Amino acid sequence: MTNPRIGVIGIPGKWSTEVLADALEKRTGFRCVVDMADTALDLQRRALMAGGQNLCELDGLVIKKISQEYSPATLDRLEMLRVAEASGVKIFSKTASILGLVNRLSCTVTLSNAGIPMPETVVTESPDEAMAAVHRFGNAVSKPLFSTKARGMTLMEAATPEADLKARITAFQAHNPVMYLQKKVNLSGRDLGMVFLGGEYLGTYARVAQTDSWNTTILHGGKYEPFEPDADLIELARKAQAPFDLDFTTVDVGLTEDGPIIFEVSAFGGFKGALEGASIDAAGLYAEHVIKKVQT
């Protein structure tokens, strides 16, 4: 196979989607960027159509972004891609791998079962249990099960008057029936993104808060900086991403007084942090990895 046809599932016009499509086009001469919102699955014909292109006829598909924001509908889009996968299209990363990550709880349970150190976490549908968790933690971060870049996350403080805290929990549960609460840990305004390609470590960048926001995400004003981890930290991140069998990912790591903890393993990984914080051309390296696997 000299010129494989490999498409990119993403958000047309978005930098990370387009830079990956550019890298693949440069190496193969083929370009196809697909927004899953524009696809149609025809099970009778076993066709997944995007405009005039049947994605089931491509050699490969790289999922850079399955949707702008995570939601249960994201899982439906992955189910549609399973048809292309069953037709012989190589998907990066595999749909089964991503299905185990889009839901925050699924990711957390897998990490916990693997013995990976994480912040203390309580998951409940009971407002009373949620209240008890906040008091036990001192401060807790309530997180939607489907979200990216800290969207929808809320800081719950035990010092809040009881009636006000109960109201905050009720308001959060109105949009999140199953409540996921994690103990807020002191990160001194910095956390890490550790980048892996095909299970191999590439490098690390730091996200550093520039404001008084309790989180470090770029969405909330953080910036990327270089960071050099030691061998033990690299090994911890490697163990964290291993159960998910991903082609490309970023492991989110926090450094605390009690040692490193893992927040999550990304379903898709971040290109911009790798480039700006660690000088890694993740898009180019990923494109070469995908082409090699498609051709074997």
Q: How confident is the model at residue 148 (pLDDT cuts 50, 70, 90)?
A: confident
Give the residue, 69 or 8, on which the prediction is more confident: 8
Q: Would you state the pLDDT for residue 216?
A: 53
Q: Does position 215 have pLDDT exceeding 60, yes or no? A: no
Q: Which fold has domain 6-98+286-295?
A: Rossmann fold (3.40.50)
Q: Does position 15 have pLDDT exceeding 90, yes or no? A: yes
Contact 134, 91 (CB under 8 A): no
The position carrying tokens 């995570």 is 70
Quote the DSSP letter at residue 63. E
Q: Which fold has domain 102-116+186-279?
A: D-amino Acid Aminotransferase; Chain A, domain 1 (3.30.470)
* Cα gap 172→150, rounded to integer Å: 14
Mean pLDDT, rounded, for 161-168 = 96
Q: Does position 229 have pLDDT exceeding 80, yes or no? A: yes
Q: Would you state the pLDDT for residue 36?
A: 97
Q: Does position 244 have pLDDT exceeding 90, yes or no? A: yes
Q: Does position 264 have pLDDT exceeding 80, yes or no? A: yes
Q: Would you state the pLDDT for residue 220?
A: 53
Distance of CA 152 to the CA centre of its chain: 15
Q: How confident is the model at residue 90 (pLDDT cuts 50, 70, 90)?
A: very high
Q: Would you state the pLDDT for residue 189?
A: 84
Sign, CA dihedral 67-196-95-182, equals: negative
Q: Would you state the pLDDT for residue 212?
A: 58
**HSE (CB half, 13 Å, CA atoms) of 266?**
25
Burial label for 26, CB within 10 Å (0-12, 13-18, 19+), is exposed
Find the range with the poorest average confidence among 1-5, 169-173, 178-182, 229-233.
1-5
Find the range with the poorest average confidence among 65-74, 92-101, 231-240.
65-74
H helix or E strand, kind and range, residue 204: strand 200-208
Q: How confident is the model at residue 252 (pLDDT cuts 50, 70, 90)?
A: very high
Domain 121-183: give its CATH architecture.
2-Layer Sandwich (3.30)
3-state secondary structure of 281: coil
Q: Does position 217 have pLDDT exceeding 70, yes or no? A: no
> What's the pLDDT tens digit per position in 39-55?
999 999 999 999 999 99
Q: Does position 218 have pLDDT exceeding 80, yes or no? A: no
Who contacts 163 (Cβ-Cβ below 8 Å, separation ≥6)?
Answer: none
What's the mean per-residue pLDDT of the chain? 94
Q: Would you state the pLDDT for residue 226?
A: 95
Give the residue, 94 or 148, on which the prediction is more confident: 94
Quote the DSSP letter at residue 45. T
**HSE (CB half, 13 Å, CA atoms) of 21?**
18
Q: Would you state the pLDDT for residue 219?
A: 56
Who contacts 30 (Cβ-Cβ below 8 Å, separation ≥6)?
Answer: 3, 4, 5, 6, 24
Dig out the tokens for 51 from the structure. Answer: 């405009």
* Cα gap 208→294, rounded to integer Å: 37
Q: Where are the domains of the chain?
A: 6-98+286-295, 102-116+186-279, 121-183
